[in-house]
């Protein structure tokens, strides 16, 4: 067979050639805009040529600090298209971490949304590699800034060449993008994506047995474009000619619901906290969500109660998936096998609430205390993965040695595998609760709590205990309507028949809100700190 390099530039070329009329719907600060792939193609080529003119060359890192919108999509292709490396910066990182990732990646230029300028202005004197800033704005006049030198995105484009040719003679293993994991401890870790990895991951997203992304979809990635490349959706959707709906800055659940209705979104993607928020909005409003064929949910465990609510009340089918920044990210996705369709509804839900089957192209191994675990749905072990879209190191980082060993990525996720090969995440290693030598899954308890009609959000953490070493404590946010009527005892009584006695939380603490990480997951570290002495000091 021919050995033709798989390149990111060729993904956009396909959209330009075969789907020039298809649209990208983009919300920015000034409103909702529509661009055809023909326009996006021309603007992207202009951007590559402009970047070249201001001194970006092959291999240079191009940073972005931006929401999900058309300009961010253009950079997704313009940087790799010219052989440079797209570095999507998480705009919710702390100042310290922003400085760290920009300097560590050695970004040469940074493209910034105008409303995010203060994030960079506050740290500009500590940046060691950046030679220019490009401001993305809908206004002709740039906002006041003390950054220097600055360019206007639109002005650069207007002066640039729309016939720019994407580089062809590029090694498919060359870097095309990079993303840092949001650090729970220490500095964020950098992951570099190759052209080949991005293209192959695009295939994986389009398989009928995975997300089945297709030309006929109208895809709205709610997951930020700085979180594992919005799960590869912008790349895959462009390649397939899929209509994209990019929800832009500071969106609300209301805005998402309105977009689903007005743009007839068929596929959308995000972390569970997004879907908990949207569910509340759907419960309160009156929206037509009948266009949706899949709500892709990953990043943390999708509570089965939430899946059920979406599917029964709103007829919005859920697709639970698992992955990591290190894995591009798609690793497993939960669908029923054809012969499971006749099972009772609850059994089917239980299967689909697990993280699912490994997607074609990857390999997995689950290592327990005595080697590979039995596929019995009981024995726990750490999930190891390898494959063509799995990173093989952290960028210039000695923590590579811990996670990448013997040709496998050690995920740090503890899982069980059932006799169908379906994996279930028990916990992140560091979130498991060790009670008197036995393990308790915080995920299972959270799942059960979030199935209670009064519970909006629940997060369960390990808290030090004088006798048992650690015990579970649940932090719960009640829905407004239940705030005065539901007690901790009610929730304990609800859990009791579902778990062994020693699994039940020692306490249930009510909060107004559960703190979130920079990518919208429950921030367990903060809850653990808050509750550190909860079971020692006699407060309980
Ligand atoms: P971060 O490390 O910044 O949170 P990632 O999205 O890379 O960002 O996190 C990957 C981790 O998220 C996985 O290792 C796993 O612990 C968790 N995760 C991802 N998807 C799921 C899922 N469907 N169910 C449970 N946990 C998940």
Location of structure tokens 């096998």: 337
Ligand 1 atom 9: residue of nearest CA: 324
521 alpha carbon – ligand 1 mean position (Å): 9
pLDDT in tens, the chain (540 residues): 999 999 999 999 999 999 999 999 999 999 999 999 999 999 999 999 999 999 999 999 999 999 999 999 999 999 999 999 999 999 999 999 999 999 999 999 999 999 999 999 999 999 999 999 999 999 999 999 999 999 999 999 999 999 999 998 899 999 999 999 976 778 999 999 999 999 999 999 999 999 999 999 999 999 999 999 999 999 999 999 999 999 999 999 999 999 999 999 999 999 999 999 999 999 999 999 999 999 999 999 999 999 999 999 999 999 999 999 999 999 999 999 999 999 999 999 999 999 999 999 999 999 998 999 999 999 999 999 999 999 999 999 999 999 999 999 999 999 999 999 999 999 998 899 999 988 999 999 999 999 999 999 999 999 999 999 999 999 999 999 999 999 999 999 999 999 999 999 999 999 999 999 999 999 999 999 999 999 886 545
Tell me the CATH class for 363-383+399-429: mainly beta
What span, in angstroms and rounded, lies between the C-alpha atoms of 31 and 40? 18
Of the candidates 12, 136, 167, the one whose C-alpha atom is nearest the C-alpha of residue 72 is: 136
Q: Is 348 a catalytic residue?
A: no
The answer, yes or no, to whether any atom of ligand 1 lies below 6 A from the CB of 300, is yes
233 alpha carbon – ligand 1 mean position (Å): 17
Ligand 1 atom 27: residue of nearest CA: 300
Q: Do domains 10-194 and 363-383+399-429 have the same CATH topology?
A: no
Q: Is 502 a catalytic residue?
A: no
Q: Where are the domains of the chain?
A: 10-194, 363-383+399-429, 433-530
Which CATH superfamily is 433-530 part of?
A: ANL, C-terminal domain (3.30.300.30)
Contact between residue 496 and residue 504 where contact means Cβ atoms under 8 Å apart: yes
Task: Choose the residue to mutate in 425, 450, 459, 520 for probing ligand 1, maximizing ligand atoms within 8 Å of C-beta.
Answer: 425
Q: Is 434 a catalytic residue?
A: yes
The answer, yes or no, to whether any atom of ligand 1 lies below 6 A from the CB of 182, is yes
325 alpha carbon – ligand 1 mean position (Å): 8
Q: At what angle do helices 8-18 and 37-53 cross, to 10 degrees?
A: 140
**Ligand 1 atom closest to residue 355's alpha carbon, by position in its atom list:** 23
414 alpha carbon – ligand 1 mean position (Å): 12
Residue 85 phi/psi, 5-degree rounding, is -120, 120
The answer, yes or no, to whether any atom of ligand 1 lies below 6 A from the CB of 519, is yes
The answer, yes or no, to whether any atom of ligand 1 lies below 6 A from the CB of 92, is no
Could you confirm whether domain 10-194 is CATH 3.40.50.12780?
A: yes
What's the Cα-to-Cα distance from 391 to each of 190, 194, 200, rounded to whole Å? Answer: 10, 9, 13
Q: Is 396 a catalytic residue?
A: no
The answer, yes or no, to whether any atom of ligand 1 lies below 6 A from the CB of 301, is yes
Task: Give this prediction's pTM.
Answer: 0.94
């Amino acid at each position: 067979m021919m050995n033709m390099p798989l390149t990111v530039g060729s993904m956009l070329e396909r959209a330009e050639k075969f789907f020039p009329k298809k649209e990208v719907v983009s919300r920015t600060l000034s409103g909702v805009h529509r661009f055809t792939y023909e326009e996006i193609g021309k603007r992207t080529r202009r951007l590559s040529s402009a970047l070249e003119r201001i001194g970006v060359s092959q291999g240079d890192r191009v940073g972005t600090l931006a929401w999900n919108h058309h300009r961010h999509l253009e950079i997704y292709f313009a940087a790799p298209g010219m052989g440079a490396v797209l570095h999507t910066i998480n705009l919710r990182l702390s100042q310290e971490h922003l400085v760290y990732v920009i300097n560590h990646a050695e970004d040469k230029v940074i493209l910034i949304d105008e409303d995010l300028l203060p994030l960079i202005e506050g740290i500009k004197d500590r940046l060691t590699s950046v030679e220019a800033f490009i401001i993305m704005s809908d206004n002709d006049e740039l906002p006041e800034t003390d950054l220097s030198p600055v360019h206007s995105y639109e002005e650069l484009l207007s002066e640039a060449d729309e016939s720019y040719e994407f580089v062809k003679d590029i090694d498919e293993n060359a870097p095309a993008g990079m993303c840092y994991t949001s650090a729970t401890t220490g500095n964020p870790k950098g992951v570099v994506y190759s052209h080949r990895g991005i293209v192959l991951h695009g295939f994986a997203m389009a398989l009928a047995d995975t997300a089945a992304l297709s030309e006929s979809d109208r895809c709205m990635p709610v997951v930020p474009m700085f979180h594992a490349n919005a799960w590869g959706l912008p790349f895959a959707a462009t390649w397939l000619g899929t209509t994209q709906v990019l929800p832009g800055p500071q969106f609300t659940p209301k805005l998402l619901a309105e977009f689903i209705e007005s743009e007839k979104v068929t596929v959308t993607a995000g972390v569970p906290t997004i879907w908990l928020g949207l569910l509340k909005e759907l419960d309160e409003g009156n929206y037509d969500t009948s266009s949706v064929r899949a709500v892709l949910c990953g990043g943390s465990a999708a509570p089965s109660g939430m899946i059920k609510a979406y599917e029964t009340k709103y007829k919005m089918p859920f697709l639970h998936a698992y992955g990591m920044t290190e894995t591009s990210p798609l690793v497993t996705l939960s669908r029923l096998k054809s012969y499971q369709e006749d099972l009772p509804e609850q059994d089917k839900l239980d299967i689909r609430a697990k993280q699912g089957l490994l997607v074609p192209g990857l390999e997995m191994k689950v290592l327990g205390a005595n080697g590979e675990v039995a596929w019995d749905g009981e024995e726990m072990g750490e999930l190891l993965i390898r494959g063509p879209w799995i990173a093989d190191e952290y960028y210039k980082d000695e923590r590579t040695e811990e996670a990448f060993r013997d040709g496998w990525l050690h995920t740090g996720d503890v899982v069980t595998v059932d006799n169908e090969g379906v994996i279930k995440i028990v916990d992140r290693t560091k979130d498991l609760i060790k009670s008197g030598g036995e393990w308790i899954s915080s995920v299972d308890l959270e799942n059960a709590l979030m199935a209670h009609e009064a519970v909006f959000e629940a997060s369960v953490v390990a808290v030090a205990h004088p006798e048992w070493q650690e015990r579970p404590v649940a932090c719960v946010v009640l829905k407004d309507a239940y705030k005065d009527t539901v007690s901790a005892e009610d929730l304990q009584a609800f859990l009791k028949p579902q778990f062994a006695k020693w699994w039940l939380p020692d306490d249930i603490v009510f909060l107004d809100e559960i703190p979130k990480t920079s990518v919208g997951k429950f921030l367990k570290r903060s809850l653990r700190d808050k509750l550190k002495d909860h079971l020692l000091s006699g407060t309980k």
